[in-house]
């Protein structure tokens, strides 16, 4: 026995109305087509489900037994399909993002707020974390995708470029560097540098020394290494040194009363990627947010 969905829908419509004409109207089919579906169902089951009369269609004992079962199956299926439709039409959904702490208090909230104006029914959950934890959250499935800098070695994730930005020097207003026409890494070497721990500083200084041989004689060394860039900015604002970061942090630097200037000789940049698990499809809401984020970054950096 393998009744079709159309046969079950026809039977439920007939059971609800008790009338072939009304049931056909509810199904948007002709009365003869509805009658044919009922006959097919009875042939499939090998039993009558309806006793036909001139005025009403009366359910048989088997029909009365099947009606609540078929009705519940159809309601469950329609509910599931409506739920899928809401997701595909972006009427509902949850997007879970993992992003570094600094990105999470500068660029990401602005992007999420702009996205919510266009898609108010979609819930966006931002998980702020240390840079090293972004990859782990994506791999574990805790986040649908992550946004973070290029890592070495490359993580076992799919990566698509979100943006590339050059480093800038950040220092308090009124600092002696403010009067300089241009700033270089030699200027950085002359002041206490507050930098981040781990791969960030190691890779940055390796590139500086490799690209500018003269700096080997005047090496750039951190005077203080911290876990979060917000700490480095706060220390710079207190006059404890200068720090180096990417321009997306400009709103936060302004809040601390800091000046942000491009760094030259050499110009170094960092690439940030959107990381997703390979072979795993994203929800329509997550796909839409990623596309929105890419366009948002292009607009704000133009």
> How do residues 231-282 score in pLDDT, each as one tens digit?
999 999 999 999 999 999 999 999 999 999 999 888 888 999 999 999 888 8
pLDDT of residue 205: 72
pLDDT of residue 2: 86
pLDDT of residue 8: 93
- Token pair for 272: 């940030």
Kindly state the average pLDDT of the residues 190-200: 85
pLDDT of residue 154: 82
pLDDT of residue 271: 92
pLDDT of residue 130: 86
pLDDT above 70 coverage of the chain, percent: 93
Q: Which domains does the chain have, with CATH numbers?
A: 5-88 (1.10.10.10), 94-164+271-301 (3.40.190.10), 168-267 (3.40.190.10)
Q: Which of 4-8, 38-42, 44-48, 212-216 has the lowest mean pLDDT?
A: 212-216
Kindly state the average pLDDT of the residues 168-190: 92
Q: What is the mean pLDDT of the chain?
A: 89
Answer whether 221's CB lies under 8 Å from 270's CB.
no
């Amino acid at each position: 026995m393998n009744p079709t969905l159309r046969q079950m829908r026809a039977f439920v419509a007939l059971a609800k109305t008790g009338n072939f004409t009304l049931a056909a109207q509810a199904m948007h089919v002709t009365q003869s087509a509805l009658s044919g579906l009922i006959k097919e169902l009875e042939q499939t089951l090998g039993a009558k489900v309806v006793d036909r009369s001139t005025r009403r269609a009366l359910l048989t004992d088997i029909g009365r037994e099947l009606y609540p079962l078929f009705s519940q199956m159809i309601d469950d299926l329609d509910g599931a399909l409506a739920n899928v439709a809401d997701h595909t039409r972006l009427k509902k959904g949850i997007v879970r993002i993992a992003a570094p702490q600094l990105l999470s208090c500068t660029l990401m909230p602005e992007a999420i707020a702009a996205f919510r104006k266009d898609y108010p029914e979609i819930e966006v959950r931002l998980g702020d974390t240390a840079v090293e934890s972004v990859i782990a959250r994506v791999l574990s499935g805790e986040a649908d995708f992550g946004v973070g800098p290029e890592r070495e070695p490359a993580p076992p994730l799919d990566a698509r470029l979100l943006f590339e930005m050059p480093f800038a020097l950040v220092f308090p207003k009124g600092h002696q560097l403010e009067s300089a026409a241009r700033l270089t890494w030699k200027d950085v070497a002359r002041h206490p540098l507050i930098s981040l721990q781990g791969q960030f500083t190691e890779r940055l200084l390796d590139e500086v020394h490799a690209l500018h041989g003269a700096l080997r004689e005047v090496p750039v060394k951190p005077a203080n290494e911290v876990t979060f860039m917000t700490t480095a900015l706060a220390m710079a604002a207190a006059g404890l040194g200068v720090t180096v970061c990417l321009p997306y942090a400009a709103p936060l630097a302004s809040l601390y009363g800091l000046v942000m200037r491009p760094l030259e000789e050499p110009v170094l940049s960092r690439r940030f990627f959107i990381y997703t698990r390979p072979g795993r499809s994203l929800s329509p809401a997550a796909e839409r947010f990623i596309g929105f984020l890419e366009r948002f970054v292009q607009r704000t950096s133009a």
